[in-house]
Amino acid sequence: MTVPLVAPAAPRRAGSRSPLSLTAVRLDSGSRLGAWQQRNAAATIPHCIGQLEEAGNLDNFRRVIGESEAEWRGFWFADSDVYKTIEAVAWEIARTGTTDFDSWLDDVIGLVARVQEADGYVMTWIQGVHPEKRFAELDWTHEMYVLGHMVQAAVALARAGRTDLLDLAVRFVDLVDATFGPGADQVGYCGHPELETALVELYRHTGERRYLDLARHQLDHRGSGLLKVGSLGARYFQDHAPVRESQSAVGHAVRQLYLNAGVTDLVLEEGDQSLLEAMRAQWDSAHHRKMYLTGAFGSRHRDEAFGDDYELPSDRAYAETCATIADLHWNWRMYLAEGGARYAETIERELHNALAASLDETGTRFFYSNPLQLRPDRYSEENAPRERTPWYACACCPPNIARVFAQLSGYVASVDGDALAIHLYTGAEIDVPDALGGGTVTVRTSYPDAGRVEIAGPAGLPVALRIPTWAADATVDGAPVAPEADGYARLTLTSRPSVLDLPMTPRWTQANHRVDSVRGCVALERGPQVYCVEQVDLSEQIRLDDVVVDPTQPPLESDGGLRIAVTPRREVGPLYGAPSTAPTGEPVTVRAIPFHTWGNRASGAMRVWLPAS
């Protein structure tokens, strides 16, 4: 039996690309990604554990078996937040061997075991509040979604060396298989995709083919119109067309992206080219016509959905954190399926912008939605507050953040043919697989603050280095480098360290002219980071809403950010009228900061896209 890697996605089917174990990539705690991972372990995971108790998630389990008299609290799928937190703990154990969370795991897994019914079923909202809805309203009940997170947590924990949750999860999966799987009397799939990718990973871990068959069975039937979609329509649930015929990213953004991750997992195991073609079309739709500059997705609040092509409002961006996380999972699987730097570059954009902005510097306050503009007088909404909050009634995002940062090292590098491919530039030590000759590669860099990346390792080791699309003048050891068709430059290490230099010149970016909401505006980028301007960096006499920039003037690097010249308008003018000829004030310089750091100093206006003069 093949033993799967200790990694979030560990394909069994042989391919030219394969991930590395989390234990094989050790992030330097002084690097950006390493520091985030350390903060996650020290602050975010413990915070999530505390909030599960405070918000009632664990009491919901206790009340089912009479161990609590508390009223039900949270959303009907609140169990999933428990499982995501367990998954975060599991990857932290796998990564470091920590025992800090053992007693908590003992308590929580023991609680789940006591709540689980004899046939394997466990979902506390159904069991304790609406038992009549068991498997009766798959469009809304989220039963298989919750099971998906239970399975992912169980597999992660098993890869960290503990199998008690896996035993419970398998019992629930077996129930679903018997009820809705191949050969069952009825067909059923969840209104919220997530179980599919979890089933494939369960197959990878156990070698039980029937779990892969169940994932395929559900994916083959999605789009057959079985869900009672109501006023939101079939597109919201991705139930409007068979997966192979669905060419556009539509509906609820998180659901679509989780579904695509599961489809791509099936491609990795079975090599189905028709599914891969569908995923390529989906990828182009999502990333070429519906992705925000920051790597966020979902332009509509009402249904948390993708909008039309190029419908990307900055101030009303929903841009749910979970959508960025789901897309990160999907991009990693697309890279494993066919290679290509575009997938890793998207992950990098997401990590350094939308995902990093979703939590504050303490790692204990979070954004659910991540707009690219905050108006000075915008009211606060439950899932779109003006400031980050410690938790949410629908708390899907905080524990999702925790599990991703715990597994960050799994996305830094991989095996690509006969080379070690490096995708994310960060200080790290990388153990080279025996198949490539063994040894250790050391990466030293302060990226993305600077573009110098030093790589040292066994002489003769082939290395593939991702060259970002914005780094046209990149050099290796002082010589210009041209990436191959897949976006990677290949070299062979020698006894001396190789040095990749990526130009970090700040640049102005313009959106496609079809993006009406930011026509006439520019955004500032440097390396993989998007920048923004906050009201706190302007004087009280100048409102952020009134400034324009001249993109012919290059930004200046200063005090950990960039300084740009802006010109305030002197008059607000009428709501409507002739084209304005109102005079402007004198130019002033203002600090622009990385988008992911906004909102840490004051609650005030913020803009990524600035009107250009």
Residues designated as active site:
304, 396
Please give the structure tokens belonging to residue 4: 């799967």
**SS3 assignment, position 356:** helix
Prior bond of 376 cis (ω within 30°): no
- In 233-313, the DSSP E strands lie at none
User: Which residues touch 15 (CB under 8 Å, ≥6 apart)?
Assistant: 268, 336, 337
Sign for the CA dihedral angle at 567, 573, 574, 577 comes to negative
Cα–Cα distance, 572 to 418 (Å, whole number): 62
Beta-bridge partner residues of 549: 566, 612
SS3 sequence of 499-567: EEECCCCCEEECCCCCCHHHCCEEEEEECCEEEEEEHHHCCCCCCHHHEEECCCCCCEEECCEEEEEEE
Measured in degrees and rounded to the nearest 5, phi and psi for residue 424 equal: -115, 130
Identity at 493, one-letter amino acid code:
L
| Nearest alpha carbon to residue 120 among 157, 81, 173, 78 | 173
Burial of 43 (0-12, 13-18, 19+ CB in 10 A): middle
Cα–Cα distance, 302 to 284 (Å, whole number): 24
Cα–Cα distance, 401 to 365 (Å, whole number): 11
